[in-house]
Structure 1
Amino acid sequence: MKKYRAVVIDGKKLIRRGIAVMTLAVVAALGVLDIKIAAPKINVMPDSIGQSAVAESVPVIGAVSGTAEKLKSSAIAVVKKVVSFVLTFDPFDLHTAVAEELPLIKAVGYGYLARTANQSIAAYNPQNVDTGGGTAEPATPGTGQYPITEVDSGQGKALGKEKSKILIRNETDFGINIDEMLSSPLKFDMKGEEPKVLIVHTHTTECYSPEGASVYSADKSDRSLNADENMTAVGKAVKRVFEKKGIKVIHDATVHDNPSFNGSYENSRKTVEKYKAKYPGIAVVLDLHRDAFIYDDGSKAKFVTEIDGKKTAQLMLVVGTNGGGLDHPNWRENMKLALKLQNHISKKYPSLMRGVNLRKERFNGHVALGSMIIEVGSSGNTLSEAVRGAELAAAEISDFLNTLK
């Protein structure tokens, strides 16, 4: 099946760059030319308090009441503000200027590997639709081959001797009482004859590295429409484990991110709502994804551990909240389940799970009391590693859910 890669040309951005060049030329001229301006002798605003207040709001007025140097500095400041407004970023800040042009720096700057999902686009969405916060792939270097680097990102390694604890990567302003959530009962059960678990893939076409690969080509896509190599294959494996363990489950293989990546969360939400209307008893919705990290040097991270002598992809539970402004009143129920699952899985496989990721974005978590994303490995992992990690986790998840019957 043909793989694809999206290329977007932003005409507005090109126009902005043209305006920027001309405006920067003006700024440079102001800085180089020694413009001699006679300081006015009039007192524009006798009241020093009022003068100070207005000067802060309108810098030019503050400069007129002062020296020629202040006037020139203020004019430059105003021009800079205009440029920043037009470009929607500050070109005079080297980091943000370069980051705007080089998405790789934007994705992995500020001292840590930032998943592009962290770059929220909810604020730019006039319909206030749950886009998932911009979970596009990290930018690759462009061309050439780069190494795939094995990384142990498990919470067991991070916690060291305190393996009995749970690691949370909290990207919200909410506080989490882990002990309280672990001891608190869930607001749903697994009783009944109809399906209780739904597996979906918002980013269905996410796929993995070839078996045995130690390098990757930057011009190759990390997406595939082939159901035998993308997230559908992982979902099938999880479904088999659930059914073997007696869990009534539905696996939906709808492709939600093709032909357009934009709107994939809206598409998957509609899919979930369709099943919820048919089977109101669905309590757990698992959205299976695979993660992606690219280092500053272009190398791709492969989140892997060794279990029973076999390389196994590590997993991460991701829970959305209403921190981004979208309606999600029961997100703590989602988090409660995630913590209980993390605790249960980690007791048997301490190195399998990465820390639980709590996010401002909603990620369609409002659709069920037991809704969450599961990141199965990363683009550096192979499909076999991903399937193995997913199967081990699914067995433990099934055992936990069976206690709710």
Structure 2
Amino acid sequence: MKKWGQKAAGLCSAALTFAAVVCVLGRLSVLPPWDAAFTAAGFIMPGGAAEALRTDILEEDEEDDGASHIEPPSGADSRPVSSVPENSSQKSQNSSAANAQQGTVSTTQKADVKEMSIVNAGVQYKNIWVKNSNKNHGIDIPGELKKQPAVKIAKNAGPQVLIYHTHTTEAFAGDTRSRDASKNVVAVGERIAAQLRAAGINTIHDATLHDYPSYNGSYERSKVTVLNNLKKYPSIQVALDIHRDAMGTSGGTRIKPTAVVNGKKAAQVMIIAGCDDDGTLNHPNWEYNLRLAVRIQQSMADQYPGLGRPLNFCNRKYNQNLTKGSLLVEFGTEVNTLDEATYSGELFGKALAAVLNKLT
């Protein structure tokens, strides 16, 4: 027994040492792909360190400049098209003609799908979890909750919230990329907007296409869209960039993050709050965005336990320097269904409205 205990202690020590190295390398951004993704996925190792270390989750990185290493699937219609109209909830008149015109990209090969709930990772305060990948900034969740966001909502007044999409063609299971606003992240944004409007919060949903025909440079183009809206509607307090995520393993298995809310399956939601960790991002007001993000994370956790993945607090900008109420929000992955994603949009919209109603 003594020898077994010594071996067990040695194994645990080795696992913890390896985990420490992974964390340090992750902060230095020199991890190999599976290690970087393991850290990005937000898994912790309370008792199953060895098992967790074998979980090679790959999470596609969301680049600030739009020059991501992940390009849209091949086979997309390369013909230029006009932007989708604002506040679009239009359905295609003819589905086959719409697919040709809207540039839908269907999934042609069925990959293995692993469905899971990504929760309880990172720093915890009550029912709130935050994944902090910054090197120089910690996260004091209760402290952030006590701070007042720089958002003041005027009910039944001019536009208060802007919803837009840097990667507008991101879609879901079956059609992973589509310019059809009824199939891509625009449909999710419209569900969010509907809940905000129902709460008396005037919302602009700008469905301008930013990632087609060129994916690179998407963030520069969406920056122009945000600035144009801020100029036209100076009353805007909050700007939300709505995306869908993509995750998988090195073996090709795709990850489907889900939660069951009121007996119905929903795609999990991840809020991203950028931090100017070393002062080089020209993002001086990031703390205000974080204050708002933590409140929304709490609202989701209180109303819909399990809906939110841990809040991602990272060294990125994502055009969040344009207002003091800017956030990026990911809804599910490319293997979640459209119904799961739009249901999450509805729930997130309600949780967001509850927060903004207290900031009047």
- TM over 0.5, shorter chain: yes
Helix, strand or coil: the match of 1:146?
Answer: coil
Q: Choose from 243, 251, 257 the match for 2:211.
A: 257
Give 1 or 2: higher helix fraction: 1
Equivalences for 1:356-367 in 2 at 5 Å? 356-367=311-322
Equivalences for 1:7-22 in 2 at 5 Å? none
**Between Structure 1 and Structure 2, whose CA radius of gyration is higher?**
1
Q: Percent identity?
A: 35
Question: 1:115 aligns to what?
Answer: 59
Equivalences for 1:241-280 in 2 at 5 Å? 241-280=195-234
Quote the Cα distance in structure 2 between the aligned partners of 1:293 and 1:302: 8
Quote the Cα distance in structure 2 between the aligned partners of 1:163 and 1:307: 22
Displacement after TM superposition at 1:116 (Å): 2.7
- Classify 1:397/1:234 alpha carbon distance in 2 versus 1 (closer, same or farther; 3 Å): same
Query: Which stretches of structure 1, 4 residues or more, deviate above 4 A after TM superposition?
Result: 104-112, 137-140
Question: 1:151 aligns to what?
Answer: 116
Equivalences for 1:91-240 in 2 at 5 Å? 108=37, 111=53, 112-117=56-61, 130-131=64-65, 134=68, 136=70, 144-155=109-120, 158=121, 164-173=126-135, 174-191=137-154, 193-210=157-174, 222-240=176-194
Quote the Cα distance in structure 2 between the aligned partners of 1:379 and 1:139: 12
Question: 1:332 aligns to what?
Answer: 287
Task: Report if the CA contact (8 A) 2:66-2:215 is conserved.
Answer: no
Displacement after TM superposition at 1:137 (Å): 6.0
Quote the Cα distance in structure 2 between the aligned partners of 1:296 and 1:168: 25
Quote the Cα distance in structure 2 between the aligned partners of 1:272 and 1:135: 24
Normalization by structure 2: what TM-score?
0.72
Unaligned runs of 5+ in 1: 1-94, 121-129, 211-220
Equivalences for 1:52-67 in 2 at 5 Å? none
2:249 equivalent to 1:295: yes
Opposite residue 189 of structure 1, the aligned amino acid is K
Task: Report if the CA contact (8 A) 1:137-1:292 is conserved.
Answer: no
Q: CA RMSD in A?
A: 2.8
Displacement after TM superposition at 1:222 (Å): 2.2
Task: Report if the CA contact (8 A) 1:245-1:398 is conserved.
Answer: yes
Helix, strand or coil: the match of 2:171?
Answer: coil
Helix, strand or coil: the match of 1:378?
Answer: coil
Opposite residue 343 of structure 2, the aligned amino acid is R
Question: 1:73 aligns to what?
Answer: none
Displacement after TM superposition at 1:138 (Å): 9.9
Segment drifting more, 106-115 vs 195-204: 106-115
- Classify 1:108/1:139 alpha carbon distance in 2 versus 1 (closer, same or farther; 3 Å): farther
CA deviation digits over 1:146-174, x for unaligned, max 9? 2121111134xx59xx7823211111121
Displacement after TM superposition at 1:279 (Å): 1.2
Helix, strand or coil: the match of 1:367?
Answer: coil
Unaligned runs of 5+ in 2: 1-29, 40-52, 75-106
Normalization by structure 1: what TM-score?
0.64
Helix, strand or coil: the match of 1:222?
Answer: strand
